[in-house]
A and B are shown apart, each in its own frame.
Chain A
Amino acid sequence: MIRGRFRAAWRPGLLAILTLALASVPMWAPRFWIYIATQALIFAIFAMSLDFLLGYAGLPSFGHAAFYGVGAYACALLALRQVDGLIPLLVVGAAAGALIAAPIGALSLRTTGIYFLMLTLAFGQMLWGLAVNWTSLTRGTDGLIGIPRPTLAGLDALNISLYERGPFFFLCLVVAILTFLLLEMLARSPFGKTLEGIRDNERRMRALGYPSFRYRLAAFVIAGSIAGIAGSLAAMSNGYATPDLLYWTVSGLALVAVVVGGARSLIGPVLGAFAVLFGQLGLSTYVPRWELILGTLFIAFVLFVPRGLVGLVRRA
C-alpha cells in the first residue's frame, strides 16, 4: 500500500517529463540521433510488453523476441505484397504475435520458473531456425529487404510522409504512449491485480477459484501481440526483416532493458530500452567493445540498483 501512494507521487511527474522530452526530440536532435531514438522507442514498446509478463505476471520469458520477429515478418510479407496501409500492417503484426504466442504459451505455461524460461528460449530458437531455413518464405539469413514505409489516409491529406524521419518518430511515440496506457490500465484492472495475486501465491489464488492458467495465458498472448506490433514498426522503420530479430540475444537485450530500467513499472523498461539501444546502435559506432560497458552496467545494476533506473528516481 505504501508503494501505491508513493507511485502516485513520482509517476506522473516522471511521465510528463519523459513525454515532453521525447516529443521534442525531432526539433533539436540531428537526423542520426532521431533514427536511434526511433529504434529505441520501438524497442521500448517491446520491453514494456516483456515487463508486463515479467513484472506483473511474474513470467520470465526468454523467448520474447520470437513474437517481435514474427510481427516483423508478418508486416514485411504483407507490405511486400503491396499492402501499404498503416493500420492493416500494425494489425497483422499484432495478430501474428498473438497467434504464435497462444500455442507457445499454452505449452510453456504448464511449467514455471527456470523451466518456463528454458521452454520459451527453446521455442524462440525454433522459430529463429524456421526463419533461417524456410528460405522460400523468409529468404533465409539475407532476410526480406526493401519494405516500403506505410501510408495513413489522414496524413497524406496533410502532406506528411512517414518516409520522413520526424513523422515516423512521432508515429512510434504515439504507439508507445498507447501501449503504455493500455498496459497501465490492464495492470490496474482486476485482471492485472489477479495476475499479481497469481504471481505472489498461485495456490491461494487457485483455492479462491481463479483459473490461473487462463489468466497467465491471456497475459502471455497480450504481451505477444504487443511485441508483434513493435516488430511490425521495426520492419517499417528499417525496411527489412531478418532472422536476427528473433534471436535469443534480442530477448536477452530486452530483459537487460527491463532490469536496468526497473521491472514492474512500465516506465523503467522505456528508460532501459533507451539506455540499451543508445549503447548498441549509437555508442557502438563511436566506441569499440561497447558490450563490455553494457555488461558491466548490467552487473552493477543487478547488484546495487535492483530496482533499476526508476528505483533511483523513486529514492531521490
Chain B
Amino acid sequence: MADEIQGYLDRKLVENLDRREFLQMGLTVAGAAAFVACGGSPTSGPSGPTGPEFKLGVVLPYSGVYAELGNSITNGMRMYFDSVGNQAGNRKITMITADEQVQLADAVAATKKVVEQDGVDMVAGYVSSPNAAGNRNYLDGQKIPTLVANAGVNSLSRAAKSPFIYRTSFSNWQPAHPVGTYVAEKLGKKRIQLVYAKYGAGLESVASFKETFTAAGGTIVGPDVATPFPNNGDQTPFVQAIQIDKIDGIYSFMSGTDAVTFLKKAYELGTLTRLALVSGAGFFVEQDVLAAITDAAPAGAITGLHWALTLPNKENQDFISKYSKKFSGRQADVFAVQGFDTARVIVEALNGVKGNTDNKDAFMKAIAGVSFKSPRGDFKFDANTNNVVQTIYIRKTVKDPKLGWTNQVIDQYPGVADPGK
C-alpha cells in the first residue's frame, strides 16, 4: 500500500518535470546523499542507470480468494529487483501494480490500464487461469512482452501459445502428472476420488492426474466433488460428499482461500483423520495454506509441486532466509519463488539486450534463452511451449520442529516439460 502510493508519487513527480530538470534534481539529491553518507568527503559513487525507465506492469490479485498469492508473487519480484538495485541493461526498473481481483472483467480492465494509461514496456502476473486466458488475445494483439507468473492454464503452452507470452510458473499438467504414477505405483492406492475447484485449473489438474493414474491401473471412484470457484459459501456439503468408505484416498486441486476453508472444514468434520490418503497438486497444502490452518493440516498428504520450503539446495536456503528477513518473518512459499524467478528472467533478458526493448523479437528471444539455478532447481524455458521446464517434487506434509507445518521432499521427477507442441 505504502509502496503503491510511493510509486504513484514518484511517477507524478517524473511526469511534472522535464527530463533535464529531473536529472539535475536527481543528481543533486544523489550527490547530497553521497556527501552525507561518506561523512562529508565528496567522492564519486557508482552512477545510476542513464537509459529510459523500464516500466513493468504487474497485474496480480491483491483482493479476493487469491490475494495471498498476489502478495507473495509481488514480494518475490520486489526482492529480486532490490537485489540488483532495481536496474538492468542500464535502465531503471519500476513496478506498476494493478489489482487483478477475481473476475475476468476486472483483470481485463487492470491489464488495459497498465498498458494504455501507464504505457508499460512489459506485463507480468496473472494468478488465475481464466484471467490469463482471457487477456491472452489482447496481449498477443498488442505485442506486449508478457510473463505469466502463476496461472497454469494448459492452452497457453499449447493451442493459445503466443510468441509474446512466456510462463515462469507451471502448466496445470506439470505438478499433477507425476502424482498419478506415484500414487498408483509407489503408494499402491488404486481407488481415488477427485476433489477440486471447478474451473480451468482444477479441471486440467485432475484430468492430468487421471491420465497417469488410470494408466498405472488406478480407478477413479465417482462422483467427483467439484466446488464452485471461488467458493464463498459453506464447504460442508462438499466435504461430506467424500465417500470415505469406498476409497483409498482423494486427489485434490484447490488453492488459496478455497484450500484453507476446505481443509478446515474437513478437519472439523473429522473427515481428514479418516482418510487414508490425501494427495493433490501442491497448492492444496502450500505454505500459505498451512500457515492459515496450522494443526488442521492433513499430516502425510502427498502432493506434487515444483518447489518445497525444505529443498536443501543453496539457492533455496538463501532465498528462504533472505525472504523471511526482508518481509518481517513471513515464510516463503512457491508463489514467492515464482515472483522471484519472474523478476530474474526480466533482469537477465534486459541485460541480454542491453536495455533495448524496441526490437521485441530480440527481447523475446533473450527471454526464451534465460536459464539459471533457481530456488526450485534448474530453470529454463521450453522452445516448444514457451513454458518452464522444471523438476516436480513429490512432497509429504509434516510438522517440522523448526519450520512448523511444511512439506518434505520424498521423491522427484526432473525435467518435466508440458507435452504441448
Q: How many residues of B contact A (CB 8 A)?
A: 33
**What 1/0 flags go to A91-131 for Cβ under 8 Å of B?**
00000000000000000000000000000000000000000
Tell me the interface secondary structure of chain B in the complex: helix
B267 at interface (Cβ–Cβ under 8 A)?
A: no
Known: A132-B228, A142-B199. A240 touches B104 (CB 8 A): yes
A289 to B99, CA, bound (A): 10
Contacts of A31 in B (CB 8 A): 112, 116
Contacts of A288 in B (CB 8 A): 1, 4, 62-63, 99
CB pair A32–B106 under 8 Å, yes or no, is no
B277 at interface (Cβ–Cβ under 8 A)?
A: no
Contacts of B117 in A (CB 8 A): 30, 32
Known: A132-B198, A142-B129. A285 touches B134 (CB 8 A): no
A132 to B199, CA, bound (A): 9
B130 at interface (Cβ–Cβ under 8 A)?
A: yes
B114, B134, B203, B229: the one contacting A145 at CB < 8 Å is B134
Tell me the interface secondary structure of chain A in the complex: helix
CB pair B199–A285 under 8 Å, yes or no, is no
Known: A242-B104, A244-B105. A141 touches B200 (CB 8 A): yes
Contacts of A280 in B (CB 8 A): 106
B4, B62, B130: the one contacting A242 at CB < 8 Å is B130
B113, B198, B228: the one contacting A285 at CB < 8 Å is B113
A25 at interface (Cβ–Cβ under 8 A)?
A: no
CB pair A289–B63 under 8 Å, yes or no, is yes
A284 at interface (Cβ–Cβ under 8 A)?
A: yes
CB distance from A69 to the nearest CB of B (A): 12
Known: A32-B117, A289-B63. A284 touches B199 (CB 8 A): no
Q: How many residues of A contact B (CB 8 A)?
A: 27
Chain B residue at minimal CB-CB distance from A285: B113
CB pair A238–B105 under 8 Å, yes or no, is yes
CB distance from A8 to the nearest CB of B (A): 39
Identify 25 residue pairs between A and B in the complex whose beta-carbon atoms are under 8 Å apart, listed by A's number: A30-B117, A31-B112, A31-B116, A32-B112, A32-B116, A32-B117, A39-B105, A140-B203, A141-B198, A141-B200, A142-B153, A238-B104, A239-B134, A239-B137, A242-B105, A280-B106, A281-B105, A284-B99, A285-B98, A285-B99, A288-B1, A288-B4, A288-B63, A288-B99, A289-B63
B residues bordering A, Cβ < 8 Å? Answer: 1, 4, 62-63, 98-99, 101, 103-106, 108-110, 112-114, 116-117, 129-130, 133-134, 136-138, 153, 198-200, 203, 228-229
